[in-house]
Amino acid sequence: MSTDLVVILGATSAIAQAYARRRAAAGVRFVLAGRREERLKVVAADLVTRGAASAEPLLMDLSAIGAIESAVETIHARFGPPQEIVLAYGILGEQTVLERDVAAAQAALDVNFTSAALWQLAFLKGREATQPLTTIVIGSVAGDRGRRTNFIYGAAKAGIDIFVQGLAHAYAGTPARFVLVKPGFVDTPMTAGFVKSGPLWSTPDRVATDIERAVRRGARVVYTPWFWRPIMAVIRRLPWFVFRRLKI
Amino acid sequence: MDRNTSERQQVYAWGRLQPRAHVIVPAAFADEMVAAIRASDKRPLLCRGLGRSYGDVALNGGGYLLDTARADHFLTADWETGVVRAEAGLSFDALLRVCVPRGWFLPVTPGTKFVTLGGAVANDVHGKNQESAGTIGCHVRRIGLARSTGEMLDLSVDSPLFAATVGGLGLTGVIVWVELKLLPIRSATMDVETLAMARLDDFFRLSAESADWPYTVAWVDSLARGPSLGRGLFMRGRHADAGALTPHGRKQIAVPHVARHLLNRGTIALFNYFYRTRPWATGRGTMHYEPFFYPLDSLSDWNRLYGRRGFFQHQSVVPMKNAPETLRSLLELSAEGGEPSFLTVLKVLGDRPSPGLLSFPKSGVTLALDLANRGDGTRRLLDRMTDVVVAAAGRLYPAKDATMSGEAFRAGYPQWRQLEEQRDPALMSDFWRRVAADAA
């Protein structure tokens, strides 16, 4: 019997690595997709040392929309059908820059929403009806309400939220499952440049622990750490006359 | 969330005495560590791992701090021979989780597993098995070192730069990766024996009688005076032959950040009394390696227990012939100082040489004790203790120190000038500025 195949899109991201290290201990096989060959090789060697049965780098630009279908076919042909897909790539971007640079804004939306949605469709298209498949998508609390400081990133993450909701609805009762992860502030290279002190900051390892638990329990949406669920519930419900004054 | 790329951040050392402002440069992969030192400008750079150094060896006020804790990938591992090569940010905690189930253990470990490989090598850490195993540097095979010249060096044991880098306080270059030979074990369990010490002489007697126990350490009740000075518990252990190879768990109890000086004379007296007199304190038994090696790791942020002003740690080594007298003076001095030490530890150190140029351990006895910061009085006490150590031909451990004078350091480490010669000009630390730079 061959072991589970886990495909990680954006395998050098801090959250993806923390999660993959936990899965590696179970002896799974990995396909690690990303742009930076040297780093993918480092991550692959690391995961094999930590117990993975194998880890194969797949060098590609994950936001290259035209290449998605053929990449999925390649993965199926070389490694067989995956049991788990992790969408962990993305770019935060600087809101003030994106607002003035339409091409950069398009790139941010393509990376964070369009390509992420299409990867899921492509993997589901190639899936046999009885084949179990868990799709883990890293969203963000930024997708819960449009805010002046990051609504371009937030809109893409909100789009993915609706998209994954729809897929979960469409595939209810089948062995295809979907987990949307909504981290708050996580100390990762993506957030380099923020001052990371205070109780709201979390670590990739904490997020990975929460993802693992959510997958095990069959949760559909997981806020990580948990306190972001009540925080975002309040932010979503704030009346406009209050919200418009907030500098968040 | 505001971007603060250029803004400085206040960073504490483990003793939480005085934060210093730094520009933090995060590195998640080896290539980013190499790039950081190549790009270094006029402001000096220093690597920082998990921040367990007590004083200022891992501070570089006004300069850059290269945060290496995320560059923690295993690069190669041979589980037949136990040779592992990994990026400098790999923690002992993470390494143990991977190597213990495969029958390997750290050849040398300090009293916390929350240190990085790079930090362990830079401070040439030792542990309870120092007499037989030496320091961590004795088990390092190769070091990958990036220099500001742009070179990426692969250092072997016979290279002079290897010797300068082991115990080199992170000043010879950026330690990018380390290759380590692990220790084979058959079980994660330890055979342990704990014996009561009624006075200081018992410590010397039990140390001499424990030659067939690789791991030894003694806990001393810092409140004992007069004839019972040196009263405490002597612990010795060895890896058991039988038992599962189960690594440690993840449970930690957090110390609340509002903790205000929970360690004072009253609480310490109470703790010491019960710790020493509980019925199960002495005797033989088995325990998992975690409580044996890392009793304090179950409390995260235990350094906050000393309150807002932080604390000092004095760790010194003095030659055996001066040890009984010197230890008596040091323990008496610290007891007079008003604030008792929560954790006072004694250990005999052997003469196994480290390849490191500025390695702390040398043949004799080491004493470690904590002192809550009560301002100038505490500093004067530490100065007097340093004088006693230097007069006894001893020296202090840079990884713990926050107060020793340049003279005391240079007297203890006459080889310091060789490190200064090999230091990468792009690198500097507050410690080195304090004890060496002015004299160079």
Cα–Cα distances in angstroms (integers) from residue B283 to residues A8, A151, B176, in the given order = 52, 64, 44
- Residues B251, B220 within the same domain: yes
- Which structural domain, as residue segments, surrounds residue B116? 74-185
Bridging pattern class, strands B283-288 and B189-197: antiparallel
Three-state SS at B81 = coil
Whether residues B159 and B199 fall in one domain = no
Q: Give pLDDT, residue B260.
A: 59
Residues B79 and B228 occupy one common structural domain = no
Residues B6-40: pLDDT tens digits? 468 889 999 999 999 999 899 999 999 999 998 87
Mean pLDDT of all residues in B208-237: 93
Shared domain check, B352 and B277: yes
* B246-294 pLDDT, tens digit each: 999 877 777 666 555 677 777 888 888 888 888 777 889 999 999 999 9
Predicted pLDDT at B258: 57
Higher pLDDT, B75 or A2: B75
Residues B194 and B343 in one domain: yes
Q: How does DSSP classify residue A27?
A: T
Residue linked to tokens 């330690």: B175
pLDDT of the residue at B254: 72
Q: Are residues B143 and B206 in the same domain?
A: no
The answer to whether B394 and B317 are in contact (CB under 8 A) is yes
Report whether pLDDT(A110) > 80: yes
Most trustworthy range by pLDDT among A163-177, B268-282, B324-338? A163-177
CB contact under 8 A, B29 and A39: yes
Specify if B4 maps to a domain. no
> Do B181 and B208 fall within a single domain?
no
Q: Are residues B305 and B166 in the same domain?
A: no
Q: For residue B320, tell me if it sits in a domain.
A: yes
By CA distance, what is A204's nearest residue in B? B70
Q: How far apart are CA B413 and CA A215, in angstroms?
A: 55
Bigger pLDDT: B283 vs B114: B114
* Domain extents in chain A: 5-243
Contact B3 A12 (CB under 8 A): no
Answer for the pair B409, B389: CB distance below 8 angstroms, yes or no: no
Length of chain A as a residue count: 248
* DSSP string across B324-336: HHHHHHHHHHHHH
Closest CA in chain A for residue B2: A194
> Distance from A13 to chain B by nearest Cα, in Å?
9
Instruction: Give which of B8, B74, B75, B93 is closest to B43, Cα–Cα.
Output: B8
**Count of structural domains, chain B:** 2
For residue B116, the 8-state DSSP code is B
The domain spanning residue B100 has which CATH number? 3.30.465.10
Rounded distance, CA B219 to CA B145, Å?
A: 38
Q: What is the DSSP string of B237-297?
A: EEE-SSS--PPP----EEPPTT-----SHHHHHHHHHHHHHSTTSSEEEEEEHHHHH-GGG
CA dist B342 → A243, B98, B229, B260, B440 (Å): 50, 33, 15, 15, 37
Encode A10-43: b = buried (16+ Cβ within 10 Å), e = exposed.
bbbbbbbbbbbbebbeeebbbbbbbeeeebbebb
Residue B216 sits in the same domain as residue B143:
no
Q: How far is CA A203 from CA A19, A136, A207, B376, in A?
A: 12, 18, 6, 38
* Per-residue pLDDT, B302: 85
pLDDT(A155) > 70: yes
Mean pLDDT of chain B: 92
List the single residue in A43, A49, A194 with the smallest CB-CB distance to B1.
A194
DSSP-based three-state secondary structure for A199: coil
- C-alpha span between B109 and B373 (Å, rounded): 27
- On whether both B193 and B148 belong to a single domain, the answer is no
Asked if residue A211 has pLDDT above 80, the reply is yes
Smallest CA–CA distance, residue A172 to chain B, in Å, is: 35
Identify whether residues B298 and B156 lie together within a single domain.
no
Are A61 and A35 spatial neighbours (Cβ–Cβ below 8 Å)? Answer: yes
Nearest to residue B50, comparing CAs of B415, B409, B301?
Answer: B301
The CATH number that applies at residue B251 is: 3.30.70.2520
Q: What is the CATH number of domain A5-243?
A: 3.40.50.720
Residues B131 and B211 in one domain: no
The answer to whether B328 and B402 are in contact (CB under 8 A) is no
- Tell me, yes or no, whether B65 lies in a domain: no
Radius of gyration of chain B, Cα coordinates, nearest whole angstrom? 21
Residue ranges of A 136-195 with Cβ closer than 8 A to chain B: 149-150, 185, 189, 192-195
Q: Is A94 in CB contact (< 8 Å) with chain B?
A: yes
B212 burial (CB, 10 Å; 0-12 / 13-18 / 19+) is exposed
Residue B416 covered by a domain: no
Percent of chain B surpassing pLDDT 70: 96
- Cis amide linkage into residue A225, ω under 30° from 0: yes
Q: Catalytic: which of A89, A153, A171, A223?
A: A153
Question: Which pLDDT value is given to residue B1?
Answer: 30
Largest CA distance in chain A: 60
Indicate if A171 belongs to the active site: no
> B3 pLDDT band (50/70/90 cuts)?
very low
Q: Which residues of A touch B2 (CB under 8 A)?
A: 194-195
